[in-house]
């Protein structure tokens, strides 16, 4: 009498692909929820300090500020990058793997260039982080956005490489779909930061 054993294939899921995908989606959604709280706290702190302006500590007369358009340019690039990633995902769902690879590749390049632009912006600030409450808030928001950009760029490189070697199929687009959700979120966060730093002067002058 002989017995046989089923040897698991490396990389093969024991559970249904959709069940695994839904679990991974839940995990990333929880991560995004935590990040929403973090970014929301930074934005709240900016407006709180700006509105309170205790002892005129927000921004003294003649103090240097960051050009508003730079923040919006960085946010716009993020939106374009997210658009290319979503375009790549749509290609995968149609079975167009060439579109998947090229779309993700363009999205990653834009994000990495955007990260470089964010570094240049931080290094070119004409004020130090401890100059005033405005300065410390702007540095913190810019640093948070840089973290998002670098993290997304690294994740994007990994996804692009997996797409390049044919690891994704139209039947299982879950991983690309999940990363696309994250990509859209960092674009929203970038817009939130740009909008926030567009409000500079405190409405509570002379307190």
Give the residue among 187, 175, 20 at the shortest CA–CA distance from 92.
175
pLDDT tens column, 118-168: 999 999 999 999 999 999 999 999 999 999 999 999 999 999 999 999 999
Q: What is the spatial distance between Cα 187 and Cα 35, in angstroms, rounded to a whole number? A: 13
Contact 171, 51 (CB under 8 A): no
Residue 7 has pLDDT above 70, yes or no: no
Residue partners of 160: CB distance under 8 A and separation at least 6: 101, 104, 105, 108
Mean pLDDT score of the chain, rounded to an integer? 91
Which parts of 58-132 fold into alpha helices (H)?
68-93, 97-124
pLDDT of residue 154: 97
User: For 48, phi and psi rounded to 5 degrees?
Assistant: -65, -50
Residue 2 burial (CB count, 10 A): 3
Residue 71 burial (CB count, 10 A): 24
Give the residue among 61, 159, 156 at the shortest CA–CA distance from 115.
156
Give this prediction's pTM: 0.87
pLDDT of residue 60: 83
- In this prediction, residue 17 has a pLDDT band, given cuts at 50, 70 and 90, of confident
Higher pLDDT, 81 or 22: 81
Largest CA distance in the chain: 93
Q: What is the spatial distance between Cα 124 and Cα 41, in angstroms, rounded to a whole number? A: 25
Residue 1 has pLDDT above 70, yes or no: no
Topology annotation, domain 70-202: 1.20.120
What residues does each domain of the chain span?
70-202
Residue 12 has pLDDT above 70, yes or no: no
pLDDT of residue 73: 98
pLDDT tens column, 95-121: 999 999 999 999 999 999 999 999 999
């Amino acid at each position: 009498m002989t017995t046989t054993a089923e040897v698991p294939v490396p990389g093969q899921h024991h559970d249904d692909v959709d069940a695994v995908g839904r679990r991974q989606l839940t995990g990333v959604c929880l991560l995004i929820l935590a990040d929403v709280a973090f970014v929301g706290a930074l934005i709240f702190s900016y407006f709180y300090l700006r509105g309170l302006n205790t002892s005129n500590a927000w921004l003294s007369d003649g103090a240097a500020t960051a050009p508003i358009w730079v923040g919006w340019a960085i946010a716009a690039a993020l939106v374009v990058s997210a658009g290319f990633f979503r375009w790549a995902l749509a290609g995968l769902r149609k079975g167009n793997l060439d579109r998947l690879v090229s779309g993700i590749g363009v999205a990653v390049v834009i994000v990495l260039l955007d990260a470089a632009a964010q570094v240049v912006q931080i290094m070119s600030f004409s004020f130090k982080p401890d100059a005033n409450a405005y300065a410390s808030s702007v540095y913190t928001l810019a640093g948070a956005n840089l973290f998002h950009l670098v993290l997304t760029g690294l994740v994007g490189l990994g996804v692009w490489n997996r797409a390049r070697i044919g690891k994704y199929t139209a039947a299982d687009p879950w991983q690309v779909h999940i990363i696309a959700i994250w990509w859209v979120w960092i674009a929203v966060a970038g817009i939130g930061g740009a909008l926030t730093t567009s409000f500079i002067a405190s409405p509570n002058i002379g307190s």
